[in-house]
Amino acid sequence: MLIETVYDRRAAVIYALNWAFARNPRFYDFSDIGGDCTNYISQCLYAGCGAMNYSQENGWYYINSDDRAPAWTGVNFLREFLLTNRGTGVYGEESTLSEIQRGDIIQLINSQGRFYHTVIVSSVLYPKIPQNIFVCAHTDDSRNRRLSTYNYADIFPIHIIGARKEISVEN
């Protein structure tokens, strides 16, 4: 049975800040083979929800570098998972900068319309404009970097709504 649970934004951001310039040895570092940004963001999201989705078709999980869901490390796959997940794990919705909060994620889009990078929001000041939104990221490791310092044509903010966990029901 699935139960709704809280997404712990504080835990996700603490994880992001702690590992912004380092690599958690429990997870493979994909920096040299396409980038580590979405792997790192998935780790942050997992720190905030504590549940993976082991669905073979459209899940979000990491067992090891050879046994993981595409959504764990792929920018487009993570977005699709977060926006459509009805099972275990974290889920979210498309948002705007004015609605963004700590622990939410933002995906960057280049001038060709390609989603190419994922960051997690570590701090927000008012007004909520790119100069006042601070993020953490891997690949080009960043801790509390201003969103406005990235080179992008557009952004896709995702507000994390919550998470679901599987519980066993005894008769």
106 lies in some domain: yes
62 lies in some domain: yes
For the chain, what is the mean pLDDT?
Answer: 96
- Amino acid at residue number 8: D
147 lies in some domain: yes
pTM, full prediction: 0.96
pLDDT in tens, 84-142: 999 999 999 999 999 999 999 999 999 999 999 999 999 999 999 999 999 999 999 99
Give yes or no for residue 171 having a pLDDT over 70: no
What pLDDT sits at residue 169?
77
14 lies in some domain: yes
121 lies in some domain: yes
pLDDT in tens, 17-31: 999 999 999 999 999
Q: Give the range of the structural domain holding residue 99, as residue numbers without chain letter.
A: 2-166
86 lies in some domain: yes
Query: How many structural domains is the chain composed of?
Result: 1
pLDDT band at residue 170 under the 50/70/90 scheme: confident
What percent of the chain has a predicted confidence (pLDDT) above 90?
95
Q: 3-state SS of the chain?
A: CEEEECCCHHHHHHHHHHHCCCCCCCCCCCHHHCCCHHHHHHHHHHHHHCCCECCCCCCECEEECCEECHHHHCHHHHHHHHHHCCCCEEEEEECCHHHCCCCCEEEEECCCCCEEEEEEEEEECCCCCHHHEEEEECCCCEEEEEHHHCCCCEEEEEEEEEEEEECCCCC
- Name beta bridge partners: 137: 142
171 lies in some domain: no
Residue 140 Ramachandran class (φ > 0 left, ψ -120 to 50 alpha, else beta) = beta
110 lies in some domain: yes
